[in-house]
Amino acid sequence: MIVFVEDRKLVVDTYKHRFEKAGETIVQLTASDLIIWVTTSDIGELATVEAILVGECADPQKVIDTIRTRLDVPIVAMLDNRSLEQLISFYRKGVDDVVIKPVHFEELLVRIAAIKKRSMNAVPEKSKTQILVYFDGRDPELDGQQLQLPRRERRILEYLASINGRRATKSQIFGAIYGVFDEKIEENVVESHISKLRKKLSKYLGMDPIDSRRYLGYRLDPNLVAVNRNVPQALVA
């Protein structure tokens, strides 16, 4: 299933018939519907998503951030007009590719397949030392030993692990952890949480697994991370 985040039904309908003839199901969601669906659905339901197209919608940054927290699929932004400013903006938001309409549906399928192939080829042999990250409230494990973390630090680690080696800005991390409507907390608190998290991870690993670059943001080394999204029955019951 390919999800098309687009407010205009006519635009989606233009592609829907062609995708379906090629054996691909395409589903239209608004930004708000996608955010609700991604944050409330179980892993099995989300596993049906092969790629996400982002067109004209409200708050594309929040849409992309929400997708990255729970889905590891290609995200392709579709622009109505060629604009260098918009193109750069979408890449900075975290999409994998940007195309300009009109674009043939077969080109979209080829681009999605290419992104998946690059992602598979880019996964190196795992380091002997790994950070095992859960997404169900449990603390992470380092070399099989549980590392107890405060809730905010654990959520930051989970978020960085979920975006698979991509960089995240302070604003993106703040939005993922605190939400965009929390005006009582300053964005700079993220720096304090990350600093404490890095010190704890460095103590266990003998190295800092989080790289920071000015203006570009933070990146968790994907070679050191393994993720476990399976929720134990004890937590489901």
The last residue of one of the domains, among 121, 146, 168, is: 121
Instruction: Give residues with Cβ within 8 angstroms of 11, minimum separation 6.
Output: 55, 56
- Phi, psi (deg, nearest 5) at residue 100: -110, 130
Claim to verify: residue 156 and residue 212 sit in the same structural domain: yes
Please report whether residue 126 resides in a domain.
Answer: no
- Residue 129 is predicted with a pLDDT of 55
Q: Are residues 162 and 115 part of one domain?
A: no
Peptide bond into 102 cis (omega under 30): yes
- pLDDT of 98: 94
Residue 202 corresponds to which tokens in the numbers above?
């460095």
Same domain, 109 and 149: no
101 and 179 part of one domain: no
Does residue 91 sit within a domain? Answer: yes
Q: Are residues 216 and 162 in the same domain?
A: yes
CA distance 191 to 98: 30
Asked whether residue 177 is assigned to any structural domain, the reply reads yes
Distance (Å, rounded) from C-alpha 113 to C-alpha 58? 27
**Residue after which a domain boundary falls, among 59, 92, 121:** 121
Q: Which residue, of 121, 147, 165, is where some domain finishes?
A: 121
SS3 218: strand
Cβ(167)–Cβ(217) below 8 Å: yes
220 assigned to some structural domain: yes
Q: Does 143 lie in the same domain as 83?
A: no
Specify if 34 maps to a domain: yes
Is there a single domain that holds both residue 91 and residue 158? no
Domain assignment present for residue 59? The answer is: yes
The answer as to whether 149 is a domain residue is yes
- Print pLDDT tens along the chain (237 aa): 899 999 999 999 988 888 888 778 899 999 999 999 998 887 777 878 889 999 999 999 999 999 988 888 899 999 999 889 889 989 888 899 999 988 998 899 899 988 888 766 654 444 455 899 988 889 999 988 899 999 999 999 999 998 888 888 888 888 888 765 455 677 788 899 999 999 999 988 888 999 988 777 899 988 888 887 654 444 333
CATH number at residue 224: 1.10.10.10
Phi-psi sector, 173: left (phi>0), alpha (psi -120 to 50), beta: alpha
**SS3 of residue 3 by DSSP:** strand
Q: Are residues 115 and 153 in the same domain?
A: no
- In which domain, by residue range, is 104 found? 2-121
**Contact criterion met (CB below 8 Å) for 175 and 224:** no
Q: And the tokens for 51?
A: 């790629």
Q: Do residues 114 and 7 share a domain?
A: yes
Residues 98 and 148 in one domain: no
Burial class (CB in 10 A: 0-12, 13-18, 19+), 103: middle
pTM of the model: 0.53
User: Which CATH number belongs to the domain containing residue 91 in this structure?
Assistant: 3.40.50.2300
Joined together, the tokens standing for residue 227 give: 């993720």
Tokens 């042999």: give the residue.
125
* Same domain? 143 vs 108: no
Q: Are residues 114 and 177 in the same domain?
A: no
Whether residue 227 is contained in a domain is answered as: yes
Spatial distance between the Cα atoms of 158 and 100, rounded to a whole number of angstroms: 33
Number of structural domains, the chain? 2
3-state secondary structure 5-40: ECCCHHHHHHHHHHHHHCCCCEEEECHHHHHHHHHH
